[in-house]
A = this chain, B = another copy of it.
Amino acid sequence: MVRPGLTTATATAAAALVALAATAALADPLPSWRDTDAKARLVGFVEAVTDPASGDYVTPAARIAVFDNDGTLWAEKPIYFQVLFAIDRLREMAGDDPSVLNSDALRAAAAGDMATVAASGAEGLLEIVAATHSGLSVEEFEAEVRAWLDVARHPQTGMTYAAMVYQPMLELLRYLRDEGFRTWIVSGGGLHFIRAFAEDVYNVPPEQVVGSTGEARYDAEGPAPRIAKDPGVAFVDDGAGKPLAIDARIGRRPIFAAGNSDGDFEMLEWTTAGDGPRFGMIVHHTDAAREFAYDREGHVGRLDRGLDEAEARGWLLVDMAEDWERVWPAGN
């Protein structure tokens, strides 16, 4: 038997839930996206794969969405923010012991010569990362990243780096999750670097962060065991590495992929080559006024092949200047 008091309380709660659901259905899930074709395509896809009556319906378990990070979820100019972290850390280390600056790339980095750092390519960047991302445990490293994010400021905007995430992409992440998707980050950036803020900033838990990894070692010699970060790169999660990492980590082909550079090409290709409804999107940096404008040229975030092939492959090219009403959570 149900007591009358419980019946009333349950009925009230049910009514509140029904009202809440109706509001949620009517509210715009993507308020920072203008009413352009881009938004219509995104919403159309999500509505189709979540409607059990649709021929495109996809079960929640298969609703996997993958997102690149640098240039897709947050900015990446003048250079990847992880490199700026590494440079700050390198300077701090060189203050204690100048002999750490034992290569051209390391000396350029410490001197703030970004052009030389950028021109040193992947090799130079990896050198800087190796020198600054080793010699401490994973927990210590993530604490260093969080401490840096609290105080460091972008050289051009003066904003904290965590404030330089794209509001429209935060909305898209949340919209997809509200519709039963699981959202994963699949980034060329460092796994532990991204984990240090992904849960707070993107609401993406550590197990759903895929990234590049350095060598690591289980060290049980001390008073308590630790995971020690060593120099040396174990896996670069970029280009063809992305579908490989998706297979290794997720074990299911995503149905949605978002990127911004040719490093995301294979991830979009792999995602959209699967059967059934698929969505590939590229954030095209067209907004020099509010963010940065770049594509085919440069060392960071180069988009060339993707720009040529997006239309033929059916991938959405998001025009930041046209499609986004707002770029930053706290600004215009």
Identify A227's interface contact among B218, B224, B247, CB under 8 A: B247
- Taking Cβ atoms with an 8 Å cutoff, the residues of A that contact B are 1-2, 6-7, 10-12, 14-15, 18, 61, 138, 191, 195, 205-207, 209, 213, 216-218, 220, 224-225, 227, 240-241, 243-244, 247-252, 266, 269-270, 273
Least CB distance, A186 to chain B, in whole angstroms: 13
- The CA-CA distance from A7 to B244 in the complex, in Å, is 52
User: B206 touching A218 by the CB < 8 A rule?
Assistant: no
Which chain B residues lie closer than 8 Å to A273 at the CB level? 224-225
- The CA-CA distance from A88 to B331 in the complex, in Å, is 63
Which residue of chain B has its CB nearest to the CB of A6? B14
With A10-B11, A138-B247, A217-B244 given, name 18 new contacts (CB 8 A).
A1-B15, A2-B11, A2-B14, A10-B10, A195-B251, A206-B251, A207-B249, A216-B244, A216-B248, A218-B240, A218-B266, A218-B270, A220-B266, A224-B273, A225-B243, A225-B266, A227-B244, A249-B249
- The CA-CA distance from A5 to B6 in the complex, in Å, is 16
- The CA-CA distance from A12 to B248 in the complex, in Å, is 45
Least CB distance, A229 to chain B, in whole angstroms: 10
Top 6 nearest A-B pairs (CB, nearest first) are A206-B251, A218-B240, A7-B11, A2-B15, A10-B14, A227-B247
- The CA-CA distance from A266 to B205 in the complex, in Å, is 24
Offer 15 A-B interface pairs, CB within 8 angstroms, sorted by A. A2-B11, A2-B18, A6-B11, A7-B11, A10-B11, A206-B251, A207-B252, A218-B240, A218-B241, A220-B240, A220-B269, A225-B243, A225-B266, A227-B243, A249-B249
- The CA-CA distance from A262 to B146 in the complex, in Å, is 36
Which chain B residues lie closer than 8 Å to A227 at the CB level? 243-244, 247
Most buried by B among A138, A218, A241, A270: A218
Number of copies of this chain that the complex holds: 2
Which chain B residues lie closer than 8 Å to A249 at the CB level? 207, 249
Least CB distance, A202 to chain B, in whole angstroms: 14
Which chain B residues lie closer than 8 Å to A207 at the CB level? 207, 249-252
Which residue of chain B has its CB nearest to the CB of A239? B218
User: A206 touching B252 by the CB < 8 A rule?
Assistant: yes
Which chain B residues lie closer than 8 Å to A206 at the CB level? 250-252
- The CA-CA distance from A45 to B241 in the complex, in Å, is 41
Identify A251's interface contact among B209, B216, B240, CB under 8 A: B209
Which residue of chain B has its CB nearest to the CB of A182? B207
Most buried by B among A209, A224, A248, A250: A248
Which chain B residues lie closer than 8 Å to A217 at the CB level? 240, 244
- The CA-CA distance from A206 to B251 in the complex, in Å, is 5
